[in-house]
Structure 1
Amino acid sequence: MKRVCARWPALARHAGLALGLVAGLAIVGPLVCPAPDTIRDPSSTALLAPGSQRFFLLLADGSTVAAETMAPVATGWEIRRQGEVQVVSDTDVQGVESRRFWLGTDALGRDVLARLVWGARVSLALGLLALVISTLLGTLVGLAAGWAGGALDTILMRLADAVLAVPMLVLVLLLTALLRPSLGVLAVVIGSSSWMGVARLMRAQVQTLKQRDFVLGLRAIGASRTRILLRHVLPNAMTPLGQDAALRLGDLILIESSLSFLGFGVPPPTASWGSMLADGQATLGSGWWLVVFPGCLLAGTVLATALLAEGLQEKLRHFR
């Protein structure tokens, strides 16, 4: 048992590194990746397998032709397109470029790698925003309920119980159906639907801390209630919220992906992991990569947050 517990800090470090890599991908990736909604000659670029390469001829009329192979000839360019050999006059060609699709393309010819990178930015940004909102709401409610006690405590906790009685995904679906989906609206809706656990945790911490000797001593010397709460109770009560935040981040990312999968997430053509899974299920037989890659990235991110939370819990037990 001790040997198993000793492995958790190492797992937490690996999980933190994995989350850092995903965050770095979300921040730096869009700077070097093309736009996720770029569509060029979809009849020749749709459902390309991972590692496929295409050559693109930019024509004078503004259109783009994708070719499997390309070679210069005396009159222009000889290309193989959809199994047929064609010759394009040099006077019609404004530019030539090649591109490799490392993770393949979807049914519209969009780069899966680019959509994964841009989708990571959407999923992580929305998850972090919702986490901040739920933490702030839960902290305020928990502080008020735990410190005041009495009727205010009863009212706030009954409110939390009422919200908890409704499944979170159902509540979020109801709210998003009434509002126009956007990144900000989704963050507010998800965050305002997931503050109850934070409030209960903060309330329990405050109720314990306000009976401690240092708080009673501050009251005895006439310290103001605001000073006691903000400078002494709140910092000590925040310790277990780190583990809770790491665990809830994975849940919030999973909820965002569920909403996008059901069509209630960020509007298209904005890329998100959930919408990629929804788009890929229609072509699962001929395009397995459309489901496997976003599914593995989503599952790995959620698993990393869970391992990080477990590692933080073991650290807290070690210091107690």
Structure 2
Amino acid sequence: MKYTVKKIAGLIITLLIVSMLAFLAFELIPGDPARSILGTEATESKVQALREEMGLNRPLPQRYGQWVKDFVTGDMGTSYSYQEPVKDLIADKLPVTFTMTAMAFVFILLFSIPIGLMSVRYENRWIDKLFLIGNQVTMSIPPFFVGMIFTVIFGLTLRLFVPGGYISYTENVSGFLGYLIFPSLALALPKAAMTAKMFRNALLSEMHKDYIRTAKSRGNGPWRILICHAFRNGILPVITFLGMAAADLIANSIVIEQVFGIPGLGRTLISSISNRDYPVVEAVIVLIAAVILILNTVVDLLYRALDKRIVL
């Protein structure tokens, strides 16, 4: 219980620090949001009137306190560019990014777990050597470059999808999911390679322990030993890595959305930074940070539940 409370308290404190840094960063950037909205031809009186309306003339601590209070209650402000509530804008984009990262996470599991098991089962054979070579190559390629390769090969050459031909989930769910397959794969492959290698190394370490030798002496076959005995302990370090991988997927989704022309949170963040749409930028940054912190906290709690040796 104390471990859980400590983790949740750390999550809240870290999130407060992130929110403060996000708010202060855009307050210190040169430029006046009111003038950006009204244009360079606006009179000073109109600019000052809008600044007063937006609350920009109030002291900085007061504005931050009000922003945190509003954010917690669900009021994320109004977008300067889109002239709509930020929460509505995020609610429209969040399913896109969430679906893509969730699909990528599933691909990581589908690739890394079987490949790691096969590599250990056939250690030092041609399957294992092929895995090590392919794994090294895949890990060295960043997701955005994988996305570019997929666009050229599967989009422009094989025409399995139309680059830039994004289909909204509100129009056609199957078309939406189909378009996200290649972006999700591009996002997942480098992390899948890392996960498979970590899983392989963890399993190989377990295979040399006493309880595995005992299982062999009782007549258990190779696959039964791997899956029923070594798997549980071998997967523990992978669980922590998967938590970090999930957080990294969210960060890399920003670039992947740019490559494939997907209107998700990442693309909205980039355009909002360019347009000095601070309410959107601040809300998206805090939201992404919150998701990453929650994921890491859940992973830590899960690891604690699976391995009671972890102490405060």
**Under TM normalisation by the shorter chain, which class is it?**
0.5 to 0.7
Instruction: Note the C-alpha offset of 1:206.
Output: 1.4
User: How many positions carry a matched residue from both structures?
Assistant: 231
Which residue pairs with 1:221 in the alignment? 218
One-letter amino acid of the structure 2 residue matched with residue 292 of structure 1: E
Q: Does 1:161 align with 2:131?
A: no
RMSD of Structure 2 on Structure 1 (CA)? 3.6
Pairs within 5 Å for 1:108-119 = 108-119=82-93
**Secondary structure of the structure 2 residue equivalent to 1:319:** coil
Alpha-carbon distance between aligned partners in 1 of 2:146 and 2:293, rounded to the nearest angstrom = 24
Q: Does 1:248 align with 2:223?
A: no
Could you tell me whether the CA contact under 8 Å between 1:106 and 1:112 is conserved in 2? no
Instruction: Note the C-alpha offset of 1:110.
Output: 4.3
**Secondary structure of the structure 1 residue equivalent to 2:138:** helix
Gaps of 5+ in 1: 1-6, 19-47, 53-100
Match 1:132 to one of 86, 97, 106: 106
**Secondary structure of the structure 2 residue equivalent to 1:136:** helix
Instruction: Note the C-alpha offset of 1:8.
Output: 7.4
Residues 14 and 259 of structure 1: is their aligned pair in 2 closer, same or farther, counting only changes over 3 Å? farther
Larger radius of gyration: 1
**Secondary structure of the structure 2 residue equivalent to 1:122:** helix
**Secondary structure of the structure 2 residue equivalent to 1:193:** helix
Residues 165 and 216 of structure 1: is their aligned pair in 2 closer, same or farther, counting only changes over 3 Å? same
Pairs within 5 Å for 1:1-320 = 10=5, 12-14=7-9, 103-105=77-79, 107-151=81-125, 152-176=127-151, 178=153, 179=155, 180=161, 182-260=179-257, 262-266=258-262, 268=263, 272-284=264-276, 287-306=277-296, 318-319=309-310
Could you tell me whether the CA contact under 8 Å between 2:147 and 2:259 is conserved in 1? no
Residues 13 and 258 of structure 1: is their aligned pair in 2 closer, same or farther, counting only changes over 3 Å? same
Residues 265 and 228 of structure 1: is their aligned pair in 2 closer, same or farther, counting only changes over 3 Å? farther
Alpha-carbon distance between aligned partners in 2 of 1:177 and 1:289, rounded to the nearest angstrom = 36
- The answer to which structure, 1 or 2, has the higher relative contact order (CA under 8 A, 6+ apart) is 2
Which whole-Å deviations, capped at 9, do the CAs of 1:225-260 have from their partners, x for residues lacking one?
232222222222222222111111110011112222
Residues 114 and 252 of structure 1: is their aligned pair in 2 closer, same or farther, counting only changes over 3 Å? same
**Secondary structure of the structure 1 residue equivalent to 2:141:** coil
Residues 120 and 165 of structure 1: is their aligned pair in 2 closer, same or farther, counting only changes over 3 Å? same
One-letter amino acid of the structure 2 residue matched with residue 264 of structure 1: F
**Secondary structure of the structure 2 residue equivalent to 1:239:** helix
Alpha-carbon distance between aligned partners in 1 of 2:151 and 2:119, rounded to the nearest angstrom = 29
Could you tell me whether the CA contact under 8 Å between 2:272 and 2:280 is conserved in 1? yes
Could you tell me whether the CA contact under 8 Å between 1:205 and 1:237 is conserved in 2? yes
Greater strand content: 1
Which residue pairs with 2:44 in the alignment? none
Could you tell me whether the CA contact under 8 Å between 1:15 and 1:305 is conserved in 2? no
Instruction: Note the C-alpha offset of 1:10.
Output: 4.0
Alpha-carbon distance between aligned partners in 2 of 1:274 and 1:227, rounded to the nearest angstrom = 44
One-letter amino acid of the structure 2 residue matched with residue 319 of structure 1: I
Instruction: Note the C-alpha offset of 1:292.
Output: 2.0
Residues 150 and 102 of structure 1: is their aligned pair in 2 closer, same or farther, counting only changes over 3 Å? closer
Residues 302 and 172 of structure 1: is their aligned pair in 2 closer, same or farther, counting only changes over 3 Å? farther
TM-score norm. by structure 2 comes to: 0.62
**Secondary structure of the structure 1 residue equivalent to 2:269:** helix
One-letter amino acid of the structure 1 residue matched with residue 290 of structure 2: G
Relative to structure 2, which stretch is displaced further, 290-299 or 201-210? 290-299
**Secondary structure of the structure 2 residue equivalent to 1:104:** coil
Which whole-Å deviations, capped at 9, do the CAs of 1:158-188 have from their partners, x for residues lacking one?
2111112223332234324554462333223
Residues 123 and 14 of structure 1: is their aligned pair in 2 closer, same or farther, counting only changes over 3 Å? farther
One-letter amino acid of the structure 2 residue matched with residue 193 of structure 1: P
Could you tell me whether the CA contact under 8 Å between 2:150 and 2:182 is conserved in 1? no
Alpha-carbon distance between aligned partners in 1 of 2:104 and 2:12, rounded to the nearest angstrom = 22
TM-score norm. by structure 1 comes to: 0.60
Alpha-carbon distance between aligned partners in 2 of 1:174 and 1:258, rounded to the nearest angstrom = 14
Could you tell me whether the CA contact under 8 Å between 1:105 and 1:112 is conserved in 2? yes
Residues 263 and 153 of structure 1: is their aligned pair in 2 closer, same or farther, counting only changes over 3 Å? closer
One-letter amino acid of the structure 2 residue matched with residue 206 of structure 1: L
